[in-house]
Structure 1
Amino acid sequence: MPAYLDVAANAHGWEKALFTHRALERVSPERPHLVEIGPGGGSAVSALAKALHGGNRRVDLTLVEVPGVTSRALTAAIKEFARVGHCTLLRGHAQEIDRLLERPADVVAASALMHEVYSYGGGYAGIHNLMRALPGVLAPGGFFAYRDVYAVGAPSLHERTTHTYNAPSWLRFLRMFTPRYLSEGVHPYHHAQDEVVARQDSRIVAVADLAPARCAVVSAPIGLFREIQRHYLTFRDHAWRSGALGFVPVLDGHLAADWLDTRTGHKRVHYTLTGADWLPRSQRAMLLAVSEPYADHYAVDGDIFDECTDIALAAFLDATGRGDTACAEVWESWAAREGRETYAYLTLDELITAFAVHSTEADNGRSTVLLPARVDDIALPHRNYYNRYLSKRLANPLVDAKQLVLFSHIDVADSEMLGQAMAAIGGVCGKHSLARIYAALNPRG
């Protein structure tokens, strides 16, 4: 069976590489040093290789990956990058990056790094240590390009709310994932007010005992609902890519962007069939009947594909719960890599503020700060396709999007650049956050 990263985490390469490419265009060295933390399946490496191909500059790329994590896809991406520069793969942890690199980096890039560090590297203390370490490895005028999941727009992740679930695939996932995540994962939901209370037919039931054929009303912290929603999507995508449901959709490249209406997230899905048969025969026949055949695959309306996916996924999860070996192997490969992770959600305001404040605490012999220097160094691309799907399955879905920030390594003595950066974040950060940043930049008043 392919390694997890070869199946699950090799999409959206150009989005991951977008701000990295912009940063490389803004640094001055003839042969810049780029560092990517946590390259995963190498999709950003591959996208960057394509973007740089044909240019005049060569790039020295250093990849930092945790020990034991490998993928054939990353090996292929490294070979592809050889056309535009030199690539070195180092083993180590993000918080130790200042001890891993032999020379300063002009650009450091990372995608979805915070939840990895939170889950496996010391919680918020690990995240803050990473923020303090980055200025020590960045050259003056360097950049840190970061991309992560959009956070919950709530005063606190512990704020209680109520969600309802009636789709069988979601109910099966809820009862399989939630108890395991709460017992094995690194998460902040330990207080009495964080208790998950589920009701079916007006009676309180344990989440692990939810009946998949009846609507469930669940009260819990909003952050936990975000974890459930985000993990459901990652598992669904993993099951898709694995071929375990009976079909494999194209999730990257030009066929993945066959939009009928970009604004509403409505698109055609291109897919191939596999030998698995978790979709009932009648549903499989219906899917093929409404699909357009191509030379080596099919294309179908995304709403129809989602409907079929939920039917197949419900049957697949039911079989996993009954102990089917093949289904359990797919579930466990995902659960071992993703199921215990907590997305350390920081809103754009919190993310920018945290990086600014903790980067000023770096022990690098200089007084510097990490801040986006321009308004267009901050982006929030919505996942319209996911949001369309979620709005059809959940009564009150949480918005799915990505947040991208390109941080500049600014000398605090550079008042012009600093003023430009503070103006750039004025539309994103609240007054309290701006005051915290100002206090960090002026510790002596």
Structure 2
Amino acid sequence: MPRPIFSTDHKSTARYLDLAANAHGREKGFLMLEALRRTQNAKPHIVEIGPGGGASVEFLSSQIGGYARAEQNVALTLIEAPGVESSSLASAISLFRSVGSCELVHGFAQDIHNLLPCAVDIISTSALFHEVYSYGGGYSGLHAIMRTLPTVLVPGGFFAYRDVYAVDSGTLHRRVTQCYEARSWLQFIRMFLPYYLEHGTHPYHHADDEIVVRQNSRIVDASKLDTSGECAFISAPLGLFREIQRHYITFRDHVWRSGTLGFTPALEGQLSNDWIDLRTGHKRVHYTLCDAEWLTTAQKTMLRAMSEPYDDHHTIDGDIFDNVTDVALTAFLDAANDGDTGCTQVWKDWRAREGHETYAYLTLDELLCAFAENSVQAATEQPAVLMPVQANDVRRIERHYYNRFLSKRLPNPLLDAKQLVLFRNIPLTEVDTLTEALETLQGLCAKESLARVYEAVNRRG
């Protein structure tokens, strides 16, 4: 399989790993903990691929102490890309070693069969598969890993999957029409979409996937969108709109973190979870002002007037913060498009790290079917298949804050969430477990997908 072509420099800086990639520890480690509870091995071996800043490692270490089994019997191996290190991961490893053994191994996920000396009980990944898709061979790269996993898992072992949720649809290629009128979104689409379609790894190459942009009753090229506020209607595959949404959010957060706009909000850590109403995604935003001039003196004065002092920074209602700071983001995009040196560099930095990636590459139906079809083809003496066994092995965790933001900006926002699936490596000889898993799939997959899974399992079995 070809090596990933992205530079790890873009995702291995201390700021990215220690801050942006070191959140949601409970969510990242939840399925690992559930698998640990269900494993039969008295000395379980867990592997996490791509631990990032170590958030899940820290969470796991905080939970393992409550087990009746001897804590030192839990072994954890972390696999990270060469050259990727962070102080927060080092701290998490040190913490875990107080409750079990922990080893850091550098290598690529595609080479996991060479990195592990023997089969393990649990393998966990977070946000790995969309990177493999984007940089490691598209669908063929994904399918190759799916076929490799049963060879490095013990029979009955678990694979904990966490990545970006796609859409509520049978396919990402279903054509829909969306409209955009906010200047910041129009400018973002004008700058991002042509680049992504040309340079990114994506599945939208069919004739029916053509992107048609209409503005002022005329078909226009996306790179020539009028960003003055005239509404644009875009007809395209549903999955492509998911890409636009998700990339806009990562770009906005990247610019916020850079401080370029004159303020830096707390997007990770305790201060980022100051909820007014968690269910609706309504929060208070904690932020600090800095010297950048994208907010005018009047805008900064207005921002302060609507904020409250909090220790050494300010806090403000999240809805108000979004409205006020959108002005600065729009001005930033205009400047980047016009060639401003500082803004252009921030844009290029984000584009190099995120702009090639495809987040929504498989719906849940397609994901579960692909895992079953490919894993059952693994080169193992004892045939097995990766499938969720219980209904609660498949979960979706909504991003309430982002969904609130999107619902206020777009007439037809798509759900932003994380998809979690706990797969079990089921030997085909375990008829009862296999039957339970197939019954679980009946409530999650279309009949066509179920038929494909049934055929693949029976062909190997």
Using the size of structure 1 for normalisation, the TM-score is 0.93
Which residue of the other structure, out of 331, 334, 353, is the alignment partner of 1:318? 334
Which residue of the other structure, out of 277, 290, 293, is the alignment partner of 1:261? 277
Could you tell me how far apart the structure 1 residues matched to 2:403 and 2:322 are?
12
1:270 aligned onto 2:317:
no
Q: Give the C-alpha shift of residue 224 in structure 1.
A: 1.4
Distance 1:243 1:110, change over 3 A: same
**Equivalent position of 1:328 in the other structure:** 344
**Range 143-152 or range 294-303, more displaced:** 294-303
Which residue of the other structure, out of 137, 142, 151, is the alignment partner of 1:122? 137
**Equivalent position of 2:6 in the other structure:** none
Could you tell me how far apart the structure 2 residues matched to 1:426 and 1:159 are?
23
Which residue of the other structure, out of 200, 209, 218, is the alignment partner of 1:185? 200
Distance 1:333 1:89, change over 3 A: farther
Q: How does 1:46-61 map to 2 (within 5 A)?
A: 46-53=58-65, 56-58=70-72, 59-61=74-76
Q: Give the C-alpha shift of residue 3 in structure 1.
A: 5.3
1:226 aligned onto 2:238:
no
**Equivalent position of 1:425 in the other structure:** 441
The share of aligned pairs that are identical, in percent, is: 58
**Range 420-429 or range 15-24, more displaced:** 420-429
**Equivalent position of 1:337 in the other structure:** 353
Distance 1:103 1:243, change over 3 A: farther
Checking the alignment, whether the CA contact within 8 Å between 2:169 and 2:363 is kept in structure 1 is no
**1:165-222 deviation per Cα after TM superposition (whole angstroms, max 9, x unaligned):** 1112111211111111111111122234333222322233221222221222222222
Which residue of the other structure, out of 44, 47, 51, is the alignment partner of 1:35? 47
SS at match of 2:442: coil
SS at match of 2:71: coil
1:137 aligned onto 2:152:
yes
Q: Give the C-alpha shift of residue 118 in structure 1.
A: 0.9
**1:36-58 deviation per Cα after TM superposition (whole angstroms, max 9, x unaligned):** 11223332223323333565513
Q: Give the C-alpha shift of residue 346 in structure 1.
A: 1.9
SS at match of 2:155: strand
**Range 100-109 or range 202-211, more displaced:** 202-211
Which residue of the other structure, out of 58, 65, 68, is the alignment partner of 2:80? 65
Q: Give the C-alpha shift of residue 340 in structure 1.
A: 0.5
- The gaps in structure 1 that reach 5 residues or longer are none
**Equivalent position of 1:437 in the other structure:** 453
Q: Give the C-alpha shift of residue 96 in structure 1.
A: 2.1
Could you tell me how far apart the structure 1 residues matched to 2:149 and 2:340 are?
46
**Equivalent position of 1:109 in the other structure:** 124
1:206 aligned onto 2:221:
yes
CA-atom RMSD in angstroms: 2.2
Opposite residue 388 of structure 1, the aligned amino acid is: R
Q: Give the C-alpha shift of residue 4 in structure 1.
A: 4.1
Count of residue pairs brought into register by the alignment: 445
**Equivalent position of 2:3 in the other structure:** none
SS at match of 1:279: coil
**Range 188-197 or range 169-178, more displaced:** 188-197
Could you tell me how far apart the structure 2 residues matched to 1:175 and 1:5 are?
30
Distance 1:3 1:263, change over 3 A: closer
1:296 aligned onto 2:312:
yes
- The gaps in structure 2 that reach 5 residues or longer are 1-12
Could you tell me how far apart the structure 2 residues matched to 1:242 and 1:26 are?
43
**Equivalent position of 2:374 in the other structure:** 358
Could you tell me how far apart the structure 1 residues matched to 2:287 and 2:58 are?
22
Distance 1:295 1:3, change over 3 A: closer
Checking the alignment, whether the CA contact within 8 Å between 1:378 and 1:404 is kept in structure 2 is yes
Checking the alignment, whether the CA contact within 8 Å between 2:376 and 2:460 is kept in structure 1 is no
**Equivalent position of 1:147 in the other structure:** 162
Q: Give the C-alpha shift of residue 344 in structure 1.
A: 4.4
Opposite residue 121 of structure 1, the aligned amino acid is: G
Which residue of the other structure, out of 300, 305, 323, is the alignment partner of 1:307? 323
